[in-house]
């Protein structure tokens, strides 16, 4: 799994080199390609560190078990499991995303409006295990 | 505003022994700070919590979404474009699923671990790629990467955004940082002041849920639930999401005959061990304790929520 994530990241970096840009960030006009290390419009990003820091994963569709995913983009946390490890988020989608502390929309439910970013609280313990681009419960 | 106990709630707490709960890490639960629902009488999905009045309801979320779409469209109009909001799934009725995993015997007898009407999830149809100028107006220029990973934070308020030059123009107009999508959000949520974290209440709920899970009574009930599951050969420790441990790997498997059999046992074991009632009562105690501890911030959360709802209604023409 980790190797797969690294391969994805290396592919993304190689693609950047081809494009002549060194920035892994929101994309240009291309359609969102999920899990490619670019946070495009219509995607939801989960970051390893607080305040959009470290490696991140970009999701186009719901993911019922983040334990099966790895942070993709270069940076601290790359290759680590996303489940219970995400410290911040950016909803670049046009719709509300829902987050759950349990896999498969179990546990406590939270919602994140379009174009909002933030850090999962450092005051309270919350570990996001699944995310959905719709209300899953 | 805070829902303080009814006699029935006090009785419920006494029944679960939480009024005298003084285990390490447990909150001081005072008489009167109790549940507002009786888990014996309502389904786990319909339980009411002390923090509920501070949460945004589904209907309010729909109003906010509509208002944000209108504000984004207003911004796009400035650049000469017509904004097309995403198609959202139709709202569903009250959910039968709970935060404690499966709890409804009738539902699991039919659906197993599938959430009725939700499991497959609404599709997210691909949209046609926008022309570059329109795309730029909507989402702004790419955010800068931080050295060492991650993204540079965009402005947090509309005021700050207006003071920040994105360096790009479309049809003679300055493109906001993050484009009209971000401007639409900021106009509704953060014109002048960065609001309290929109996930603040979620954080409190999560903390209470997780502390309750670790409290001795609930931890004991979870152990008893595991033992009960083991009677039928199921080796599981997580009553909220046991699917993977049960060897169920896909949504299709969640609704199959083996899943239905396991889910039936799951619900029966939760009932036998009184797991939901114990967890709920402990959670309510922890929520009340956290609410006391963070009363000032919560007050602000409520003020901002009410203002936001009023603003959305005004944008929506209500």
pLDDT of residue B246: 97
Please name the residue of chain A whose CA is at the shortest distance from the CA of residue B118. A136
Give how far A1 is from chain B: nearest CA, Å. Answer: 16
Give how far B19 is from chain A: nearest CA, Å. Answer: 24
Query: Is the Cα dihedral B280, B285, B288, B289 positive or negative?
Result: negative
B269 in Cβ contact with B233 (< 8 Å): no
Residues 58-87 (A) with a CB less than 8 A from some CB of B: 60-62, 64-65, 67, 73-78
pLDDT of residue A33: 82
Please name the residue of chain B whose CA is at the shortest distance from the CA of residue A74. B149
A102 touches chain B (CB under 8 A): yes
pLDDT of residue B252: 84
| CB neighbour class for A3 (10 Å; exposed up to 12, middle 13-18, buried from 19) | exposed
Query: Is the Cα dihedral B296, B298, B300, B303 positive or negative?
Result: negative
- Rounded CA separation B246/B254 (Å): 10
pLDDT of residue A97: 97
| CB neighbour class for B298 (10 Å; exposed up to 12, middle 13-18, buried from 19) | buried
- Rounded CA separation B83/B73 (Å): 5
- Whether residue B167 has pLDDT greater than 60: yes
- Whether residue B16 has pLDDT greater than 60: no
Q: Which two tokens stand for residue B83?
A: 């904004």
Place of tokens 């203002």: B307
- CB contact (8 A) between residue A106 and residue B241: yes
ipTM of the complex: 0.88
Q: Which two tokens stand for residue B120?
A: 């497959």
* Mean pLDDT of the region A92-115: 95
Task: Assign A22 a pLDDT band (cuts: 50, 70, 90).
Answer: very low
pLDDT of residue A16: 32
- Whether residue B23 has pLDDT greater than 50: no
- Whether residue A89 has pLDDT greater than 90: yes
Please name the residue of chain B whose CA is at the shortest distance from the CA of residue A63. B121
pLDDT, tens digit, 9 for 90 and up, residues A52-70: 999 999 999 999 899 999 9
pLDDT of residue B27: 43
- CB contact (8 A) between residue B124 and residue A133: yes
Helices and strands in chain B, H and E counts = 12, 2
pLDDT of residue B31: 37
B6 versus B153: which is more confidently predicted? B153
- Whether residue A23 has pLDDT greater than 60: no
- The CATH homologous superfamily of the domain defined by A2-132: Crystallins (2.60.20.10)
- Rounded CA separation B178/A26 (Å): 9
- Whether residue B35 has pLDDT greater than 50: yes
Give how far B139 is from chain A: nearest CA, Å. Answer: 7
pLDDT of residue A8: 35
Find the helix or strand (DSSP H, E) in which B24 lies.
none
Give how far B6 is from chain A: nearest CA, Å. Answer: 25
Per-domain residue ranges of chain A: 2-132
pLDDT, tens digit, 9 for 90 and up, residues B246-297: 999 887 899 999 999 999 999 999 999 999 999 999 999 999 999 999 999 9
Q: Give the torsion through C-alpha atoms of A127, B207, B284, B281, to 10 deg.
A: 60
* Mean pLDDT of the region A107-133: 92
B269 versus A4: which is more confidently predicted? B269
Task: Assign B6 a pLDDT band (cuts: 50, 70, 90).
Answer: very low
Task: Assign A121 a pLDDT band (cuts: 50, 70, 90).
Answer: confident
Task: Assign B97 a pLDDT band (cuts: 50, 70, 90).
Answer: confident
- CB contact (8 A) between residue A106 and residue B142: no
Sequence-distant (6+) residues with CB within 8 A of B67 are B188, B311, B312, B313, B315, B316
- Whether residue A106 has pLDDT greater than 80: yes
B142 in Cβ contact with A28 (< 8 Å): yes
Please name the residue of chain A whose CA is at the shortest distance from the CA of residue B139. A41
- Rounded CA separation B203/B179 (Å): 29
């Amino acid at each position: 799994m980790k190797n797969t994530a690294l391969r994805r990241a290396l592919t993304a970096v190689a693609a950047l080199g081809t494009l002549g840009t060194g920035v892994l960030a929101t994309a240009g006009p291309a359609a969102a390609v999920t899990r490619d290390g670019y946070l495009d419009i219509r995607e939801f990003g989960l970051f390893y560190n607080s305040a959009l820091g470290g490696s991140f994963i970009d999701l186009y569709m719901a993911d019922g078990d983040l334990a099966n995913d790895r942070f993709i983009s270069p940076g601290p946390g790359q290759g680590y499991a996303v489940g219970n490890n995400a410290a911040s988020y950016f909803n670049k989608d046009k719709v509300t995303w829902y987050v759950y502390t349990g896999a498969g929309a179990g546990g406590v439910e939270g919602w994140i409006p379009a174009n909002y970013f933030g850090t999962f609280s450092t005051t309270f313990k919350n570990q996001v295990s699944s995310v959905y681009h719709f209300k899953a419960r | 505003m805070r829902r303080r106990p009814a006699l029935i709630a006090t009785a419920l707490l006494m029944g679960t022994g939480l009024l005298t709960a003084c285990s390490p890490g447990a909150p001081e639960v005072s008489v009167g700070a109790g549940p507002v629902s009786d888990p014996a009488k309502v389904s786990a999905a319909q339980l009411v919590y002390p923090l509920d009045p501070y949460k945004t309801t589904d209907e309010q979320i729909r109003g906010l979404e509509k208002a944000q779409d209108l504000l984004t469209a207003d911004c796009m109009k400035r650049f000469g474009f017509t904004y097309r909001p995403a198609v959202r799934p139709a709202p569903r009725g009250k959910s039968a699923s709970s935060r404690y995993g499966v709890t409804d015997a009738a539902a699991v007898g039919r659906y197993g671990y599938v959430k009725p009407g939700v499991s497959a999830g609404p599709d997210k149809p691909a949209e046609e790629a926008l022309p570059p100028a329109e795309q730029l107006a909507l989402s702004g220029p790419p955010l800068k990467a931080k050295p060492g990973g991650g993204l540079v934070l965009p402005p947090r308020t509309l005021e700050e955004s207006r003071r920040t030059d994105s360096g790009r123009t479309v049809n003679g107009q300055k493109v906001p940082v993050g484009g009209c999508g971000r401007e639409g959000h900021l106009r509704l949520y953060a014109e002048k002041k960065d609001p309290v974290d929109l996930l603040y209440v979620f954080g409190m709920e999560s903390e209470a849920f997780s502390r309750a899970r670790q409290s001795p009574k609930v931890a004991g009930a979870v152990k008893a639930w595991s033992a009960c599951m083991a009677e039928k050969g199921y080796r599981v420790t997580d009553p909220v999401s046991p699917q993977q441990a049960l060897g169920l790997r896909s949504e299709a498997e969640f609704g199959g005959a083996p899943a239905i059999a396991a889910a039936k046992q799951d619900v029966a074991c939760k009932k036998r061990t009184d797991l939901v009632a114990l967890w709920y009562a402990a959670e309510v105690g922890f929520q009340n304790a956290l609410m006391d501890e963070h009363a000032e911030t919560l007050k602000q959360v409520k003020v901002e929520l009410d203002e936001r709802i009023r603003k959305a209604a005004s944008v929506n023409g209500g």
